């Protein structure tokens, strides 16, 4: 391995993620015709007509190695942990074992303990509820607790002045007034990104959408269509570009359409899910500085002949897995464990397992398909897998008890 690649892999291990490009129209609206023009300009409320691929800044960019020995995964049992949730979007496990869940439309965070969901209160809760703009697919989205300070909470929300990441103090079930960490992320009815997560390096990663303006994904001066990496420790530097970012800005990777899933495999490999426009959804291995191609390519569509999954060709990095058409998946949140990557699918109404072995992804496999639309896959501190359903936001067909947080016990074959 060359010194250049070693440096890239150390950076990637600090914060790497598979980007599943999940198209807003692929996820929650009828699919339309696809146009692969990189200069398409759309209004704020329009659906872009192309979807993200993947890319890298130079031939030296390479994903880290991933080695696995898992030959199969099957669901052995499912258990409802919480029911009656209202359009939940994300969940995070607190140190005390309770679970914090964001409810998108209400702009509310609830704490789940022993199956009971209690809304958080305080000035922060009131501020979120009054500020959230839940038009279309926007609203109160991602949530993350600081890994070293359980009293420090970060959320991603849509408000009148755009998408934003804010921090709040958490004292019991009370939130302090929000403090802006990142403001002015372009917003639209669709393609708002929204997932946030702390990487193994302790920095905060933020997934944004192209805000229905595909050209912004290729503009490195715009926060839209990117994965950002920022300082987040509750101090005055919150929201600043993290050290060693590839361009000296908050941008970690670019050329994304609508990333809604961020996770890291045990070896530090970063993965991300991304909605495609109408033809192909994506799962990407994220390399710092890489260009994932939107709106020039969608999955392998638009790639030079002979391009393989996971390759970087002409400065664009391609996904390691794809779904065609987008109605097969529309991937949102993801979780990564030693068994591989687990992908929540909205239109596909399923939970997928994507095996990872020696840096390559296998074919996605449906392991659960009887709980309706799935918005997020998350794990607790022990690595147990959970799924968050999304049937009550007007796009699904809710059953009694929806929406729900479901524990998923797995039988992993080796």
* 3-state SS track over the chain: CCHHHHHHHHHHHHCCECCCECCHHHHHCCCCCCCCCCCCCCCCCCCCCCCCCCCCCCCCCCCCCCCCCCCEEEEEEEEEEECCCCCEEEEEECCCCCEEEEECCCCEEEEEECCEEEECEHHHHHHHHHHCCCCCCCCEEEEEEECCEEEEEEEEEEECCEEEEEEEEEECCEECCCEEEEEEECCCCCCCCCCEEECCCCCEEEECECCCCHHHHHCCCCCCCEEEEECCCCCCCCCCECCCCCCCCCEEEECCCEECEEEECCCCCEEEEECCCCCCEEEEECCCCCECCCCCCECCECCCCCCCCCCEECCEECCCEEECCHHHCCEEEEEEECCEEEEEECCCCEEEEECEECCEECCCEEEECCCCCEEEEEECCCCCEEEEECCCCCCCCCCCCCCCEEEEEEEEEC
Rounded mean pLDDT, 186-213 = 98
More reliable by pLDDT, 23 or 167: 167
Instruction: Specify if 365 maps to a domain.
Output: yes
384: containing domain? 3-32+50-298+309-413
Burial label, 219 (beta-carbon count in 10 A; 0-12, 13-18, 19+): middle
- Report pLDDT for 69: 83
Check pLDDT > 80 for residue 122: yes
CATH code assigned at 171: 2.120.10.30
Instruction: Specify if 170 maps to a domain.
Output: yes
Check pLDDT > 70 for residue 126: yes
Instruction: Give the pLDDT band of residue 186 (cuts 50, 70, 90).
Output: very high
- Report pLDDT for 360: 83
Count CA atoms closer than 13 A to 318's CA, side-chain side: 23
Q: How many domains does the chain have?
A: 1
Check pLDDT > 60 for residue 50: no
Instruction: Specify if 178 maps to a domain.
Output: yes
Check pLDDT > 90 for residue 13: no
More reliable by pLDDT, 360 or 159: 159
- Report pLDDT for 39: 28
More reliable by pLDDT, 242 or 67: 242
- Report pLDDT for 359: 66
- Report pLDDT for 68: 60
Instruction: Specify if 176 maps to a domain.
Output: yes
Rounded mean pLDDT, 257-284 = 96
Instruction: Specify if 39 maps to a domain.
Output: no
Rounded mean pLDDT, 288-299 = 98
Each residue of 224-252: b (16+ CB within 10 Å) or e? Answer: bbbbbbbbbebeeebbebbeebbeeebbb
Instruction: Give the pLDDT band of residue 273 (cuts 50, 70, 90).
Output: very high
Q: Give the percent of the chain with pLDDT over 70.
A: 83
- Report pLDDT for 357: 83
Instruction: Specify if 304 maps to a domain.
Output: no
Rounded mean pLDDT, 318-331 = 97
């Amino acid at each position: 391995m060359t010194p250049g690649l070693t440096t890239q892999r150390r950076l990637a291990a600090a914060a790497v993620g598979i980007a599943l490009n999940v198209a807003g129209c692929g996820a929650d609206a009828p699919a339309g015709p696809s146009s692969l023009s990189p200069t398409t300009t759309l209004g704020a409320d329009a659906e872009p007509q192309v979807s993200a691929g993947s890319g890298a800044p130079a031939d030296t960019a390479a994903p880290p190695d991933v080695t696995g020995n898992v030959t199969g995964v099957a669901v052995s049992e499912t258990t409802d942990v919480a029911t009656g949730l209202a359009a939940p979007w994300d969940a995070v496990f607190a140190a005390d074992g309770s679970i914090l869940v964001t409810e998108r439309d209400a702009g509310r965070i609830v704490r789940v303990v022993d199956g009971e969901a209690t809304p958080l209160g305080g000035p922060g809760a009131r501020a979120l509820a009054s500020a959230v703009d839940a038009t279309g697919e926007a609203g109160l989205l991602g949530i993350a607790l600081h890994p070293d300070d359980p009293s420090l909470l970060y959320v991603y929300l849509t408000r009148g002045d755009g998408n934003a990441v804010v921090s709040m103090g958490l004292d019991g079930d009370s939130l302090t007034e929000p403090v802006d960490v990142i403001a002015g992320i372009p917003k639209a009815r669709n393609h708002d990104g929204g997932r946030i997560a702390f990487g193994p390096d302790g920095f905060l990663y933020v997934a944004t959408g192209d805000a229905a303006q595909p050209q912004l994904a290729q503009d490195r001066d715009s926060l839209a269509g990117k994965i950002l990496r920022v300082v987040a420790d509750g101090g005055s530097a919150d929201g600043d570009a993290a050290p060693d970012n590839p361009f000296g800005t908050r941008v970690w990777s670019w050329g994304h359409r609508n990333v809604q899933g961020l996770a890291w495999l045990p070896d530090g490999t970063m993965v991300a899910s991304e909605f495609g426009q109408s033809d192909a959804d994506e799962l990407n291995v994220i390399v710092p500085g890489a260009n994932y191609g939107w709106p020039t390519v969608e999955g392998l569509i638009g790639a030079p002949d002979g391009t393989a999954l996971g390759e970087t060709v002409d400065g664009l990095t391609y996904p390691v897995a794809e779904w065609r058409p987008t109605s097969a998946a529309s991937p949102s949140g993801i979780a990564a464990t030693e068994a591989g990557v687990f992908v929540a699918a909205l239109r596909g109404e399923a939970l997928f397992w994507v095996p990872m072995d020696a840096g390559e992804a296998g074919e996605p496999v449906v392991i659960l398909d009887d709980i309706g639309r799935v918005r997020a896959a998350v794990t607790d501190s022990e690595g147990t897998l959970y799924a968050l359903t999304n049937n009550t936001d007007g796009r699904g067909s809710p059953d009694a008890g929806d929406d729900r947080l479901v524990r998923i016990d797995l039988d992993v074959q080796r």
